[in-house]
Chain A
Amino acid sequence: MRRPAAGTWLLALPVLLLLAWTVLYPNAAVIVGSFEGGLSHWREFMASPADREALTSTLVISIASVAASLVIGVPLAFLLTRFEFRGRRALRVVATLPAALPPLVGVISFLFLYGESGVVTRGVQGLFGMEQSPWRLTGLWAIVFVHAYTMYVFVFLFVSAGLERFDTSLDEAAAGLGASPRHRLRRVTLPLLLPAIAGSMLLVFMNSLGSFSAPYVFGGGIRVLSTQILASKLNGAMGLAYVETTVLALSAIAALGLFRLLQRKQRVVSTGKGTITRRAIRSRPLQLVLGIAGFVIVIALILPHLMVVLVSFARDGAWTTQVLPPEYTLDNYRRLATDAQLWRPISNSVVMALIATAANIVVCFLAAYLLVLRRFSARPILALLVALPWAIPATAIALGLAATFNQNDLWTGRIVLVGTFWILPLAYFIRNVPLVATAAESSLRQLDPALEDAARGLGASWWLTMRRVVIPAARPGLIAGGLLAAVTAVGEFVASIVLYTHSNRPISIEILAQLRALAFGTAAAYSVLLILLVLAMAIGARTVEEQYA
């Protein structure tokens, strides 16, 4: 049956060591670093009003983002899965579009739209003849606004999937037993959707907790933990940065634990085969209202993308006080392709993403193989190591790397990577370990474990079994997961801003630099390029999944 443990350990040990070294060790170094000099850094943190404010705002923003995402995502999911109307499919596709915006790009597009000199802001101002702009996109609520736009997609997708799996005969049974629609929603539908809702809430919460770009770009006076960490690091107050990082990571892990507890309380239920019956909306007035609402929603959702595309054709420096950019040109794109300085970030991002993803595919395949098809005592530890980067905000991961790989000391397992090209691929690799490993695991789970034994029983060597049975089984997950990992790596911003150097600066950092130089057109051209890359790879991942499904 199961191979003797020795062979398994031969494979498991390098994987465990590598992950412990890159995933666990840096975070441990941060915690240890926070206690350097006793409790003085912690006292400093406690005494700092700025840090206390940062902790509070981080939590408030995260909770508000979860609430806002629920308010948008849940009704939209119900509307698009339970009812049939014209344009439903199109609306479904559009509803997921915000997820195709790399974090920084979403923030920028909001700046172009709703910022003080944004198109919508100026449009409203002009329309009503106001002296001043009607609102200011800054502060806590601005951050929540952007979060809600980009993160409601999690809620929407989770709840839609939950509803599609929902066994409608349960709802019918409840109706037959005399329950009113409201009673059914409260007692049957919502309780059964709770696992899906809780799962998406956790995702939004974790993302908001670690969110960097929105607070960084238009936080105004608002401090959050992730921006505080960077500020402390830039000020050279590494001890304080370590404390802040530890607090951020602990909040994330606490949130994770809390949600797990909640989910365990609710007996998780998968209701097997779902037969969806969509109610056709027949009433004319309702159709009209829905049509208009749908149109408005589509425009609101797609506007950020359109805006970035539009601005990417605007001549840098020409757009000042007008509602829309006055002059259009292809120069921005031409410059990206011809100016070596501008091309550099693109090639950097692509090369670093490819290196990180290649490493992800190899390491995560081995980890998934060990987790799914092998039994050995250190299996729970491996599972933990693989999942850990998911629970730790990117800023914290980056700071851990900065704290660990800043000196050559082989005895403590440290080498200098900070300031070199390799630090960013490493950061990208770590961030994507959970994603690629989960994808590979789910593919391998569909492989009957007996198949491997059968192949061996037929006389196939370990390597032949691997090549002909195991790797082909993992392939769809590895390709889909790898593509998604490449997408996140190409647009990565949060870890990059902590670790980049001038020579390996990725696209996101360059976008920020162009924005600072008020070269909106160039920044937008980069953004469009990123969006196209993201879309291409997302479509690729989906095609792969469908092909193997």
Chain B
Amino acid sequence: MRDAPAGTAGSGGTLSLRNITRRFGAHTAVDDVSIDIAPGELVALVGASGSGKTTTLRIAAGYEQPDGGSVAVGGTDITRLPPQKRGFGMVFQHYALFPHMSVEQNVAFGLEARGIAKRTRLERARTALAGVGLGGAGGRPVQSLSGGEQQRVAVARALVIEPRALLLDEPLSNLDPVLRQSMRDDLSALLRRANVPALLVTHDQEDAFAIADRVAVLSKGRILQDGSPTELYNNPASLDVARFIGRGALVPCTISGGRAAVKIGGRELSFPVPRDATVAGGQAHAILRPELVELADAGAADAWQGMVLARRFAGSTMVYRIELAPDVVVEVTGGDDQAQLGARVGVRPRGVPVPVVGG
């Protein structure tokens, strides 16, 4: 029990995954993945199920051994160190709270494993619980907690050991949508306060964008792109990344001279591309997002023609789903009552830069 490292917040240094590879038989689950996470930085690993993100997390935690590559913290190699000696805080997808212990016993468990006296550890557990807004819940059985409360207990349990790094496996995926919104902010604040490297795995790019400093998109075990949410949103490195981020129709275009031209239904319209776009010319795809296009009158000369398939009320605006061609459907934000269902309308670029992606 003494061998468990007593990590001190912020002192652990950078968490580095270098060229991590993991094979299951003939299938390569993780393929040459490298990520560096600085103390206080929150990196989200996003990808569809089966993309290798959970395996990567489990390798970082020590539950799996990589076939190649290394895991290091603050420059010390810990690839072969078992989980109980890493001093990482982990939050599991279903929280993995010990059902036979009370809330504070759960939170105190990591301190118990470190041989800390009962009184001290329960005191610290209560402090940690207060830190996640569960001050009075220490004596309750964990089964009596709601999903959101369980999640916060799991976070408190991971934080109270003053971990050298935090690892979170789909921490928000079991919460209902309303709770999810508020937990994003709470979680983000808590993780930043811990001031250690934090790696979060999620299949939900909205969660990732909302709380992470950096997002790494994983597909088939490989990192497709690793950058800030804005970078990924405005300048996706590939069609796959663009598709994963979504929130926009991918429409083939031709690029020349800082402008992209899109031809739909025999009508070609052009619009500017961002100055830092990586594609300078030739064939590409434009990402027509709802806020980059607007509705126009049916038959307008400077608009593509289409029909309203659906309308979705989104608070201050209305989102219209419009079919421009049999395989081209775009979403457009507009005013409350701009077009009826089934109406013929025009759609045109607003004239602001539209992100493009090569291929």
B61 CB-CB contact with A under 8 Å: yes
Chain A proximity of B194: nearest CB distance (Å): 15
Bound state CA distance, A267 and B92, in angstroms?
23
Contact, CB under 8 Å: B83 / A266? no
Question: Which A residues are CB-close (under 8 A) to B13?
Answer: none
Residues of chain B contacted by A266 (CB below 8 angstroms): 100
Question: For the complex, would chain A's binding face be called helix, strand, loop or mixed by DSSP majority?
Answer: helix
User: What distance in Å separates the Cβ of B32 from its nearest Cβ neighbour in chain A?
Assistant: 25
Contact for B110 among A172, A178, A188, A191, CB less than 8 A: A178
Within 8 A of A (CB), among B271-326: none
Q: Which of A174, A176, A272 contacts B89 (CB 8 A)?
A: A176
A177 touches B109 (CB 8 A): yes
B69 within 8 A of A: no
Q: Does A43 contact B (CB under 8 A)?
A: no
Interface residues of A in 189-217 (CB under 8 A from B): 191-192
Chain A neighbourhood of B99, CB < 8 A = 170, 192, 267, 269, 271
Complex CA gap A532/B79 in Å reads 54
In the complex, the chain A residue whose C-beta lies closest to that of B61 is A176
Q: How distant is the Cα of A180 from the Cα of B4 in the complex, in angstroms?
A: 9
A183-B1, A183-B113 known; A176 vs B88 contact (CB < 8 Å): yes
* Bound-complex Cα distance A273 to B88 (A): 25
Taking a contact as CB atoms closer than 8 A, the residue among B61, B87, B109 that contacts A174 in the complex is B109
Closest to B6 in A: A178
Interface residues on A, range: 20 to 34
A187 contacts which chain B residues (CB < 8 A)?
Answer: 109, 112
A-B CB proximity, top 3 nearest: A177-B110, A178-B4, A173-B96
In whole angstroms, what is the CA distance A173 to B154 when docked? 10
Q: Mark A162-192, 1 if CB is under 8 A from B, else 0.
A: 0000010110111111111101000110011
Chain A residues packing against B (C-beta within 8 Å): 167, 169-170, 172-181, 183, 187-188, 191-192, 266-267, 269, 271-273
**Given A177-B157, A269-B99, A271-B99, A169-B92 contact (CB < 8 Å):** yes
Does A169 contact B96, Cβ atoms closer than 8 Å? yes
CA–CA, A167 and B4, complex, Å:
24
Which among A178, A180, A183, A188 has the greatest number of chain B C-beta atoms within 10 A? A178
What residues of chain B lie closer than 8 Å to A167, measured between beta carbons? 94, 96
Chain B residue numbers with a CB within 8 Å of A169 are: 92-94, 96
- Pairs A–B under 8 Å by Cβ, sample size 6: A169-B92, A176-B62, A176-B86, A178-B113, A179-B1, A183-B113
Whether the pair A179, B113 counts as a contact (CB closer than 8 A) is yes
Given contacts A172-B63, A173-B90, A175-B82, 13 further A-B contacts (CB under 8 A): A169-B94, A170-B96, A170-B98, A173-B92, A173-B97, A173-B98, A176-B63, A176-B83, A177-B110, A178-B114, A179-B1, A267-B99, A269-B99
Bound-complex Cα distance A129 to B112 (A): 58
Measured between C-beta atoms, what is the minimum distance from B105 to chain A in Å?
9
Give A73 to B270 CA distance when docked, in angstroms.
76
CB atoms of A175 and B1 under 8 A apart: no
B70 → chain A, closest Cβ, in Å? Answer: 19
The listed residue (B84, B94, B114) touching A176 by CB distance below 8 A is: B84
